Structure 1
């Protein structure tokens, strides 16, 4: 039997690093999408019956866009994130949410179980 050629010690390291970074990226993306989607019930009154249309990457780097409808009119929420999954800004229909309102949203809604319970994500 012929012996197998050994891989050089560092040959697999770049592959492992790329795999790790890809996995981190997708988990950060999932956290960003979840966070932004969960802002919808807090930012739009429930009696208006907002209907989630689409959630995905935004046009700016480190952003997520949530498209929703109120009746026949379409609206959007753009969430801006730091390099990770930290929410640092929100725009509703291109108008910025104030820093104080963002702080209150994060502290008293997104960091509570209510945001998970009211998540408008479609049931799986």
Structure 2
């Protein structure tokens, strides 16, 4: 005769789900989400599908949907890499359409990511 509570399997399942949760730094994820609107055509919008650790150290992969008026939604992805200098220092971005070049990355970091416009355009987490 078992004395285990009927809730024990549920609690075990919840504990296992928690153990599988991602170890993505929330600040890095925020920075990467702010990059996404810059990767879509003017007038487009972004809906984040999810985030996961990238293949390289200190990287995050974001899967998202680009939505544009009059066009079908397109599923896309981007990988944000971060330097060792600080946990939120963006060192590179590559998407399904190719890498963001050095000058564009500099301008993105220097003149966009910390602006009110970037905050307003940041899509919510997936």
RMSD, matched Cα: 2.0
1:75-119 Cα distance to aligned partner (Å, 9 max, x none): 111000012221000001162110000011111110212111221
The structure number with the bigger radius of gyration is 1
Give the gaps of 5 or more residues in structure 2.
1-22, 67-71
**Residue in 1 that maps onto 2:77:** 76
Alignment of 1:98-113 (within 5 A): 98-113=101-116
1:41 & 1:57 partners in 2: Cα distance?
20
Q: TM-score, normalised by structure 1?
A: 0.68
1:110 & 1:73 partners in 2: Cα distance?
24
**Residue in 2 that maps onto 1:58:** 54
**Residue in 2 that maps onto 1:33:** 29
Give the aligned length.
96
1:58-83 Cα distance to aligned partner (Å, 9 max, x none): 12110011111233432111000012
In structure 2, which of residues 82, 92, 95 is the aligned counterpart of residue 92 of structure 1? 95
Q: Cα distance, 1:46 vs. partner?
A: 4.9
Q: Which structure has more RCO (C-alpha within 8 Å, separation ≥ 6)?
A: 2
